[in-house]
Amino acid sequence: MAVLIQIRDADKRFGDQILLDGAEASLVDDVKVGFVGRNGAGKSTLLRILLGEEEVDRGEVIHHPSLRVGYLRQHDPFLPGESALDFLMRDSGQPDWKCGEVAGQFELKGAYLDGPVKALSGGWQTRVKLAALLLHDPNLLMLDEPTNFLDLRTQILLEHFLRQFSKAALIVSHDRAFLKATCTHTLELSRGKLTMFTGKIDAFLDYREERLEHDRRVNATVIAKQKQLQRFIEKNRANASTASQAKSKAKQLERLQTTEIELDEPTVRIRAPRVQPRSATALRCTDMAIGYPNHCVAKGINLEIEHGERAAIVGDNGQGKTTLLRTLVGSLPPVGGTLKWGHGCDVGTYAQHVYTSIDERQTVLEALEYHCDRETTRQEVLAMAGALLFRDEHVNKKVKVLSGGERARLCMAALLLGTDNILVLDEPGNHLDVETVEALADALLEYKGTVIFTSHDRHFMRRVATSVIEVRDGTVRNFFGDYETYLQAVEQEVDEGERQRNAASGKSASAPPAKAGGAADYRAAQQDNRRADKELKNLEKKIAKLDSQKKQLEQQLLTETDPKKAVQMHQELTEINAEMATAEERWLELNPF
């Protein structure tokens, strides 16, 4: 078990902020690690240090000589007009057939592979980036919030890919369900210290809570003992007959120390808007169509949402979830049919297009006080600001200097301090860490109003949703079942698609085949599969070598002036093309697209 990266006694500071303080950790070659910590703890900084883009102030980061890192970046690496296949070939230097094979693992084919990559949704672009990573044959994947903006189907594909990926991975994510499905270890960055836990995220969170509770109980016992000793000392130190005992007790008191509770920040507590519960229908859509001029996204929509529901909008990226939400809140007019809110509905919106609605001249505190109801105290405003990571001097920052993530959190805080009895939320968990997402879920469960929301965080969806509305294939419908039922349905669709691709490519399924012919037939089938896999690898090496020879000859032909040599090169090219065609034909027989 090789250590790919080792962090030794590392320190890192930005001004007064301590990000790493004697941090120690090791990443080994066959372990997938979920990397967690509060927002601002320094996770992104540590990733840049591991990538060599930043240096530690003290200590060292040791890379194994064979380390090959595949890093999923958030920025856009695509050129204008470039197709996904063009990008994969340019980025990896691999031939088109190899790029097409790897792209197929992420269901990239047809227009998704050959059309303009910039025209794809964020989720499909992430699939392209993942295929590019795999083509570089990394032995350590680093994924920074990979599930942001990924639809459920793509998340499941990514999970399956990571479970089959036999090398190491370091995954930063606030999505508990995703970390639970993919990582066997958990790494926490807290107060500059790195803690590696051998276990999944749920077990780690339980362990951390148990540890904190144990420390609290021990501290309570120590404090009680300290008070008892202090009283004895004060009572007896002036008495000659008991002075020696008091002195002994004083030494005991000096040795008694409480344990420092390892918390990055105070426990997050978010309050929901204070509203009166209502009954009857909150929203009714009748034969509604949604979309844009000259483009209808979905039609024939007949929906009713009751007061008090927490309706989750689900569906693949590009199907129209955001278009539906924007139509519901009036940012887009319906293309057809009718949409009607019930009497007394006050609708509050959290979505990317409203991040710019806050007055940039205000401070964070001024913006929150402007949006809160009259009964909200200054202390409640500060508590909400703190829960959304605006603490101390940060409440006096001007809105105009806030980052996109900070503006998003400010909009969320302002919405929750208001009095709206309908909340329409588009990806409310983005820009929030694990603890804050949990606190937001708690607040929405206590909320007496109606919630219509979309999220890619399955743990959050499971906790909050009471009903499911699916956007799919040009229509919107109530899904008859809870979110868990919907999740199982999508899992089955993905599994079926993978079975069909495996059958088409001649790959064996993960489960052993039925033993109709007995154990001997099963062993023979396994041997055939191994022989086929070996032949495939040899063919790939041969095709890659021939392709390189072909390109070299074609370059030489461009400058060759001797007719005899040119004829000879043409003959060699013809032979190479014939040999490549035979090899590719055999490769397709063993592993067709």
Mean pLDDT within 447-476: 93
Q: Which residues have CB under 8 Å from 534's CB, separation 6+?
A: none
pLDDT for res 244: 82
pLDDT at 330 over 70: yes
pLDDT by residue (tens digit) across 19-38? 899 999 999 988 999 999 87
Pick from 422, 398, 426, 392: which is nearest to 410 by CA? Answer: 398
Confidence label for 356 from pLDDT (cuts 50, 70 and 90): low
pLDDT at 93 over 60: yes
Per the CB < 8 A criterion, the answer to whether 388 and 266 are in contact is no
pLDDT for res 454: 92
137 vs 168, 374, 498, 501, CA distance in Å? Answer: 12, 59, 22, 22
State what percent of residues in the chain have pLDDT above 70: 90
Give CATH superfamily name and number for 3-200. Answer: P-loop containing nucleotide triphosphate hydrolases (3.40.50.300)
Average pLDDT value for the chain: 84
Question: What are the b/e assignments for 127-144, b being 16+ CB within 10 Å?
Answer: bbbbbbbbbeebbbbbbb
pLDDT at 349 over 80: yes
pLDDT for res 140: 94
pLDDT at 406 over 90: no
pLDDT at 593 over 70: no
- Which of 63-72, 176-185, 368-377, 501-510 is least confident? 501-510
pLDDT for res 184: 93
pLDDT for res 528: 61
Q: Which residue has the higher pLDDT, 313 or 234?
A: 313
Confidence label for 219 from pLDDT (cuts 50, 70 and 90): confident
Alpha-carbon distance of 239 to 236, in angstroms, equals 5
pLDDT at 533 over 80: no
Amino acid at 71: Y
pLDDT for res 588: 65
* CATH for the 281-491 domain, from 3.40.50.300, 1.10.10.10, 3.30.565.60, 2.60.40.2240: 3.40.50.300
Q: Which residue has the higher pLDDT, 171 or 572?
A: 171
- Token pair for residue 210? 């148990």
pLDDT for res 519: 41
pLDDT for res 169: 94
Confidence label for 523 from pLDDT (cuts 50, 70 and 90): very low
Mean pLDDT within 486-497: 86
pLDDT for res 147: 82
pLDDT for res 471: 93
- E strands in 427-496: 450-454, 467-472, 475-479
Alpha-carbon distance of 17 to 20, in angstroms, equals 9
- Count CB atoms within 10 A of the CB of residue 165: 17
Q: Which residues have CB under 8 Å from 227's CB, separation 6+?
A: none
- Token pair for residue 376? 């909200």
Question: What are the b/e assignments for 63-72, b being 16+ CB within 10 Å?
Answer: ebeebebbbb
